[in-house]
């Protein structure tokens, strides 16, 4: 049974108001082809977050003709993977770069047609440079054991109840 918070978030997402407002607030034009691509990196301060489900934000990078055109940060919209998936899809993200990611989150994101590169570590700037040079590859670091990373010592964030 969905909580009241989840029902409200569902209504906002279904209406599209959250995403339109977020895009307008960020003042960003969504890429529309022509050599442009938008990537998202699960972020914890200046580094790739070790856990996608716990990341406090995503750094969005717009790339045009192999050069960084702009970057901005989107705060975590909630603890439900579909909210991240909706947010990334509606903002035309083509690729998500993460540390570890659970199999459910991976399925939801990939179902939206977003490529996922997992098993990535390092500073955001260095990761973007590796992506641009073609040297960034997925290590398929997917949590498959059914245990939550949110309770592990790696994760500084506790999942709200």
147-160 pLDDT, tens per residue? Answer: 555 455 555 444 44
CATH number at residue 53: 3.30.420.130
Q: Is the residue at 11 inside a domain?
A: no
* 26 falls within a domain: no
What domain count does the chain have? 1
**Mean pLDDT of the 32-59 span:** 86
Distances (CA, A) of 122 to 88, 125, 135: 22, 8, 13
- Residue 87's pLDDT is 85
Residue 4 lies in a domain: no
Judge whether 58 lies within some domain: yes
Q: Cα(43)–Cα(29) distance, rounded to whole angstroms?
A: 22
1, part of any domain = no
Domain contains 42? yes
Averaged over 43-52, what is the pLDDT? 91
- Mean of per-residue pLDDT scores for the chain: 75
> What secondary structure letter does DSSP report for 127?
H
What local confidence, expressed as pLDDT, does residue 88 receive?
87
* Within a domain: 158: no
Residue partners of 138: CB distance under 8 A and separation at least 6: 116, 117, 118, 119, 120
pTM more than 0.75? no
Which residues form the domain of 129?
31-151
74 pLDDT more than 50: yes
**Would you tell me the crossing angle of helices 81-90 and 103-111 to the nearest 10 degrees?**
30
The answer to whether position 115 is within a domain reads yes
pLDDT confidence tier of residue 23, bands split at 50, 70 and 90? very low
């Amino acid at each position: 049974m969905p909580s009241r918070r989840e029902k409200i978030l569902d209504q906002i997402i279904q209406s599209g108001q959250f995403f339109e407002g977020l895009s307008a607030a960020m003042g960003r034009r969504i890429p529309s082809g022509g050599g442009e691509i938008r990537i998202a990196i699960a972020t914890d301060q200046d580094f790739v977050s070790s856990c996608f489900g716990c990341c406090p934000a995503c750094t969005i990078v717009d790339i045009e003709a192999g050069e960084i055109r702009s970057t901005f940060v989107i705060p975590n919209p909630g603890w439900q993977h579909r909210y991240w998936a909706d947010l990334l899809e509606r903002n035309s993200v083509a690729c998500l770069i993460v540390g570890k990611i659970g199999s459910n989150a991976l399925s939801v994101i990939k179902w939206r047609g977003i490529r996922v590169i997992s098993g990535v570590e390092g500073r955001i700037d260095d990761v973007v440079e590796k992506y641009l040079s073609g040297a960034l590859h997925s290590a398929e670091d997917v949590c498959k054991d059914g245990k939550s990373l949110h309770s592990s010592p790696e994760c500084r964030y506790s999942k709200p109840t």
